[in-house]
Structure 1
C-alpha cells in the first residue's frame, strides 16, 4: 500500500469534520466550502483512477464514484459529496491493502546461476566467466559446486539433481552419461565435456521459463468491478429516467448518491483483507488480494511430489537384519560411521537412530568413497555403510534387496569386516497429513488434483495411487509443468517447494510455495507462502479464501440490492441527496459487519493439553521402530526354519511387545483417545480402539505359543507362529499409518526432527 491512499483518507476526513464544526458554529458558508473541498479532493484522484482504467479498457465501480462526486458539486449538495468522499477514500485504502501485491521476484533463481567455470587446458586449471565456455571444452566441477553447463561425463560422478527433478536422493551417473546444468556435484571432483554454452543450457532455460511465465500472468479483474459492470448502467438508467421524468437534476444526483458503490468499494476489500489476515494467522502469507480472490475460485490443484506431498527427506522405514543381529545393533553401528558423513542418506540413518533411542557406536578413522559409502573402525572391526562389499548376497540379503525393489526403497547395507549385518530400507515417505489435506480440499470443491514431478514414473504412480489423485505426470521438466498448468481447467493452483517449481508457480493462477524448507526462488515466484512445513495449511488457506470470497460476494450483492431499492426511492423523490448519503452509510454498516465475519471465524483446534498428547505419542511411534522391526525379523527367522536363533528372535519380539508396545497402546487408549473424543466425537476413535484390541490379541496369542514350548519351539508351531507374526506386522503397519494420518496430523507444528544433514 502506498502513502497516497492514507493521506487522501486523512484529508477528506479532516475536511468533513471541519465542515461539521463550522456548521455547529453557525458558519454554513465555511461548512459548505470545507465539504466541497473534501468532495473535490476525492474527485481528482478518482478521475485519475478512472482514466487509467479506461486506458486499460476497463470500467467499473470507480465510474459511479466520479459521477456521484461531480453531481453533488454540480447541484451544491456538498455534505453528501463529503460523505461519499470519505467512503471512497476508505474503500481505496482497504483495497490497496488487499492488493498489496509483491511483484514476481526471481532474484534467487538468477543468483543461483553459476558465474564461473573451471576449464582444464594444457594440464592447468583456468577459472573463466561461465559465458566463455564453449561446446567441447573440458569442465571441472568440484564437490558441492553447481554444474555450469550441460555436458557429458568423462568419469563417474554422483549428483544432487533435486533442483531440477525434485528427487531428494543423490544420483550416480557413469562415464559417458549426460549431466545437466543446475545440478550439484554430490561426490568427488569430476570432469565433463561441455555440450552447450551457458546460455543454451538447461538451467538457463529454467530461468527463461520463469521470466516468461511471470511476464505473461494476466491481471485479475476485481470482484467489485465485475459486479459494477451491470450495476453502473442500471444506476445511470434510473438517474436519467428520474431527471427526464421530473426535470429536476437533484433527483438524478440523489440517485447517483445512493448508487455510490460503497458496498463494492468497502465490503469487498474488507472481506478480502480479512481473509488475508486469517490466512496469515493460519500460517499462510498471501501476497495480494487478487491471489486470495482467485484461490477462492480454484478448481484444479497441481502438486509437486518431493517436499510437498512427501517429506522431502529420506527416512528409514524398515530394518532387515541377518540372523543373530538386532535392529538396535545395526542402527548403532551404522549411525556410528554415518555421524561423520554429510551425505543425505547419513542424515536418514542418524534420524532413525535418534528416534529409536539408539546411541551411535564410537567409530574412528572414518573415510568415505563417493558412490560406495562410508567406512570406519568400531573396536577391532571395520564397519562399512553404503553399498554391499561385493555382489554375492546371502539368502536373507537377497530377500531384503527384493523388498527394497518392491517397496521402491533405497537399500543401505551395513557390513562388519565384509560380512553383511543388516539392510536399512530408506524412502521419502508421504506426509502423514497429505491424505487428510486432499480429502478436505475435495470436500471444499476442488474438482481435479494432479501430481507433477520430475521423479521416476514408478515412484510418482505409487504416490498417486495411495492418495487417489486424478492424474500423475512423472519425469516432468519445468517446461512440462508450465504446459500442464496452463491447460487448466478453470482456476489452477500450483503448489511446490523446489527451484524447479518456480516457473510453474509463476505461470499458475495462484502459486503457493512451502517456505520452511523450500527454495527462496519458489517462495519469490509464488503468490502465497506456507510458512511452516505443513501441507494441511493448504486446505486451511483454501477454506479461508472461499469463505472470504463468499462473504465478499454476499456483502456486495446485499449492498447492491439495498442500493438499488434506495435508487428507486430517490428517483421518486423520497430521498434527497443528503438523506441518500445517510441511507447509503447505513447500508455500508450492514455489509461491512457481514464482511467482517471472515475475521471472526476460527477453525477448531486441539486443546493445548490434547496437543501435548499428540506430540508425545507421535514421538513414541518413532521410538517403537525397533520393536516393530523385531516382529518382522522374527517372522523372517521362522521362514528359514526352527532353531535356537529363530526362537531367540521370537522371544525377543514378544518381550519388546510386552515391555514397549502394549504400554504405549494402553496409554493411547486411556489418555489420548478420550481427549480426541471430545474434539472429534466419541465414535471417531472406535476403529483405532479395535486396532488396539487386535494388536493385544495377537500379542497374547504369541505369548501362549511360547508358553506351550518352554523347552523349544516344535515344528508343528512354526506355520501358525509365522502367520501370527506376519499378521501382527501388517496390523501394526496399518494402525500406525492410520493414527498418524487421522490424529497426529492435527497437532500444532513442533520442533523439526531434522539433524541438519540434509545433503552434501
Structure 2
C-alpha cells in the first residue's frame, strides 16, 4: 500500500486556498506579464529606430507611443491598487513622466522611461521568483490520507472523512493524522516538531496523542477524538495564517524616499512651467526625475545580495526579506533542532570495570540492530560511525519501548531503560541508582551475562558553533537574544549554560511563542530562528523568520522569510553581513542617483535639457548606479 506522503498531492480541505484549481494567482499573472512589459518597449524602441533609418520617420513616434501604452496602463493599475492600500510610491513619478511625454508628443522619451520602469519591476520580481522556486508546497509533511479499521479490514480514506471514535492504524514513520487516544499497548512518538522535546516519549494505552507527532516505534492503533480540522496540527496552521495576516509588510527601500522626491519633482516641474511658460520644460524635469536609479539600482543590489546568500546556503525569499535581515536588532531563537541538533546522541559512555567504552557500545549496538526504536537506531549509528564491527544478535526478545535482550557472540545481553534492566538483572541496581544523569538525558543500561556492564548517556547536545554564532551576532549589532523553547525549563536552562542570552523562556505553546516575539519587538525589528511545526506561527509573526530548512519541518520553512539550506547556524552571520552590504550599496546608489537626478532636474528646469536629452542623461545615471549596485554581487566573500 502506498505511504501516506505519496497518496495525494492535494492539500486537506482545511489547508486549501479559496482560489479554485487552475485559477492563476496574482503572483502567477505578474510572472507572465512583467517579461512582456519589458519586451514591448524594447521591441518598440528598436522598431522605431529601424523605421526611422529606413526613411519612414513619421511612423517612429507612433511605434514608440504604442509600445509605451501597455507599460503605462499596467503602471496605472499598480498605482490605483497601491493608493487603495494607502501606499504612495515612486511609481507616480514614472506615470507622470510617461503621460506627459505622450501628451506633448515626446514619444522617444516616453518609450525610454517605459523601458526603464518595466525593467526595474522585472528585476524586483525576479528576486522573489529566484528565492521561492525551490520551496516545497505548503506544509508538505501534513498527512492527507489515513488508514481506518472498518469491518475487519483496513481502508485508506481521505483525512477529512475521519470522525471521532474511528480506529486508525498509525504505521512506523507516519505522522499522526488527528488527535486521539492510544488504542493498543504502547506508542513511541517524536513530538519534537510540536513541543521541542528532542527525546521520543512513550504513550500507554488510553493516553492522548497530538496530531503532527511522528510515530518512531512500532505501528499502533489510534482512537480518533477530533476531526482533522479540529486537531492540534490544524490549529497550528491557523495560527500561522493569522500571524502572516497580521504581520505589517515592510515598505520597499525605494518607496521610503517616495513622498519627498515626488513633492520635489512636482515643485520643480511646476515651477519651471510657471517661470518659463513652456510645458516642455516641465516635461524635461519629469523625464530627468523618473526614479530609474531607485527602480533599477535597488533591485539589482537586492538580487545580488540574494544570490550571494544563496551561494552560502541561505535562501532569502525576496528583497523585502533581505532588507529586513539587514535591519534586525533582536533575536528570538528556538532550542531543539536550532541551538541543538534535534536528536539524541551519545554524550557519555560509563563502562563497568574491565570494559572499554568502545566494547560497551559494540555490545549494546549489536543487540540493538534487532530493534526499530529510535534510541536503538542512535546507538547503531554511533557504533557504525566509530567503525565498530557489530555482531549479529540471536534469540532476541523485545519489550516495545522499554528494552530487549538476546544473545551476542555467545553472551546474554540486556539493553534498555534502567528500570527494564533492573527487572532483568537485579545485580545492576546499585550501579544504576548511584549515578548522576545530566538534565534531559536518556540513560541506556547494559547488562552482560547477568552482571551490570555500564551505562550509555544520550542527550540532544548544543551545536558546536552555537556559542560562536551568538557572539558574532552580538558583534553585528544584535542587541538582545532570547531563547523561546517548548521543552522543559530545566532542560532549556541546562543546555544554554554559558551562552550569552538575555532571557530563557521554556515550556511554551505556539501561542506563547508568538507573544514572546511580539514583546521583543519593542527592542527593534525581531528575527526568529526555528525549525519545528510549533515554531512556524512565531516565524510568521516575526519581522523576519529564519527556518532550519535542511532537516526542519516544511511548515516552518514555508512560514519563514529565510531558509537555511544547510544544517548549520554559522550561516546566519554570513547572511546578515551579505544583507547589510547589499543594503548599504543600494543606499549609496539611491543617494548618488537622487543627487544626480536633482542636478539634472534643475538643468532641465532652466532650459538646458530637452526631454530626450534628459532621458539620455538619466540613462547615463542609470548605468553608473547599476554598476555600483553590482558590487553587491562581486564584492568580497561575506563569510
Answer whether TM exceeds 0.5 for this pair. Answer: yes
Measured in 2, the distance between the counterparts of 1:396 and 1:379 equals 24
Count of paired positions = 599
Measured in 1, the distance between the counterparts of 2:120 and 2:160 equals 51
The residue that corresponds to 2:605 in the other structure is: 571
Alignment of 1:265-664 (within 5 A): 265-388=295-418, 389-390=421-422, 393=428, 396-399=431-434, 401-402=435-436, 404-405=437-438, 408-489=440-521, 490-603=524-637
The residue that corresponds to 1:45 in the other structure is: 74
Measured in 2, the distance between the counterparts of 1:221 and 1:20 equals 38
The residue that corresponds to 1:57 in the other structure is: 86
TM-score (normalizing by structure 2): 0.86
Q: Given that residues 141 and 147 in structure 1 are in contact (C-alpha distance below 8 angstroms), is that contact kept between their aligned partners in structure 2?
A: no
Alignment of 1:672-691 (within 5 A): none
SS of equivalent to 1:241: helix
TM-fit CA distance, 1:293: 1.9
The residue that corresponds to 2:16 in the other structure is: none
1:15 aligns with 2:44: yes
1:4 aligns with 2:33: yes
SS of equivalent to 1:2: helix
Measured in 2, the distance between the counterparts of 1:442 and 1:513 equals 20
The structure whose residues are more often helix, as a share, is 1
Q: Would the alpha carbon gap of residues 193 and 250 (structure 1) be closer, same or farther in structure 2, given more than 3 Å must change?
A: closer
The residue that corresponds to 2:270 in the other structure is: 240
TM-fit CA distance, 1:548: 1.5
TM-score (normalizing by structure 1): 0.73
Measured in 1, the distance between the counterparts of 2:520 and 2:106 equals 51
Measured in 1, the distance between the counterparts of 2:145 and 2:192 equals 16
Measured in 2, the distance between the counterparts of 1:216 and 1:484 equals 15
Measured in 1, the distance between the counterparts of 2:38 and 2:228 equals 52
Measured in 2, the distance between the counterparts of 1:342 and 1:370 equals 9
Q: Given that residues 117 and 148 in structure 1 are in contact (C-alpha distance below 8 angstroms), is that contact kept between their aligned partners in structure 2?
A: no
Q: Would the alpha carbon gap of residues 356 and 147 (structure 1) be closer, same or farther in structure 2, given more than 3 Å must change?
A: closer
Larger mean Cα displacement after TM superposition, 440-449 or 139-148: 139-148
Q: Would the alpha carbon gap of residues 514 and 85 (structure 1) be closer, same or farther in structure 2, given more than 3 Å must change?
A: same
Measured in 2, the distance between the counterparts of 1:230 and 1:411 equals 66
Structure 1 gaps of 5+ residues are 606-760
Q: Given that residues 216 and 374 in structure 2 are in contact (C-alpha distance below 8 angstroms), is that contact kept between their aligned partners in structure 1?
A: no
TM-fit CA distance, 1:139: 4.8
Q: Given that residues 547 and 598 in structure 1 are in contact (C-alpha distance below 8 angstroms), is that contact kept between their aligned partners in structure 2?
A: yes
**Cα deviation 1:265-299 (Å, max 9, x = unaligned):** 10111111111111111112222222222222222
Q: Would the alpha carbon gap of residues 321 and 111 (structure 1) be closer, same or farther in structure 2, given more than 3 Å must change?
A: closer
SS of equivalent to 1:181: coil
TM-fit CA distance, 1:233: 0.9
Q: Given that residues 322 and 397 in structure 1 are in contact (C-alpha distance below 8 angstroms), is that contact kept between their aligned partners in structure 2?
A: no
Q: Would the alpha carbon gap of residues 69 and 198 (structure 1) be closer, same or farther in structure 2, given more than 3 Å must change?
A: closer
Measured in 1, the distance between the counterparts of 2:89 and 2:516 equals 33
Measured in 2, the distance between the counterparts of 1:282 and 1:128 equals 43
Measured in 1, the distance between the counterparts of 2:92 and 2:326 equals 27
TM-fit CA distance, 1:519: 2.2
TM-fit CA distance, 1:437: 1.9
Measured in 1, the distance between the counterparts of 2:59 and 2:44 equals 11
Task: Let me know the Cα RMSD of the aligned residues.
Answer: 2.9
Measured in 1, the distance between the counterparts of 2:309 and 2:535 equals 23
TM-fit CA distance, 1:599: 0.4
SS of equivalent to 2:496: helix
Higher relative CO (Cα under 8 Å, sequence separation at least 6) belongs to 2
SS of equivalent to 2:329: strand
Asked which structure has the greater CA Rg, the reply is 1
Q: Would the alpha carbon gap of residues 45 and 504 (structure 1) be closer, same or farther in structure 2, given more than 3 Å must change?
A: same
Larger mean Cα displacement after TM superposition, 149-158 or 407-416: 149-158
The residue that corresponds to 1:253 in the other structure is: 283
Q: 2:143 aligns with which of 112, 137, 141?
A: 112
Measured in 2, the distance between the counterparts of 1:279 and 1:556 equals 22
Measured in 1, the distance between the counterparts of 2:167 and 2:280 equals 81
Alignment of 1:16-31 (within 5 A): 16-25=45-54, 27-31=56-60
TM-fit CA distance, 1:496: 2.0
TM-fit CA distance, 1:12: 1.0
TM-fit CA distance, 1:422: 1.2
Measured in 2, the distance between the counterparts of 1:96 and 1:239 equals 31
Q: Given that residues 186 and 202 in structure 2 are in contact (C-alpha distance below 8 angstroms), is that contact kept between their aligned partners in structure 1?
A: yes
SS of equivalent to 1:425: strand
TM-fit CA distance, 1:37: 3.3
TM-fit CA distance, 1:26: 5.3
SS of equivalent to 1:336: helix
TM-fit CA distance, 1:477: 1.7
Structure 2 gaps of 5+ residues are 1-29
The residue that corresponds to 1:72 in the other structure is: 101
TM-fit CA distance, 1:492: 2.3
Measured in 2, the distance between the counterparts of 1:118 and 1:288 equals 46
The residue that corresponds to 1:693 in the other structure is: none
Q: Would the alpha carbon gap of residues 47 and 475 (structure 1) be closer, same or farther in structure 2, given more than 3 Å must change?
A: same
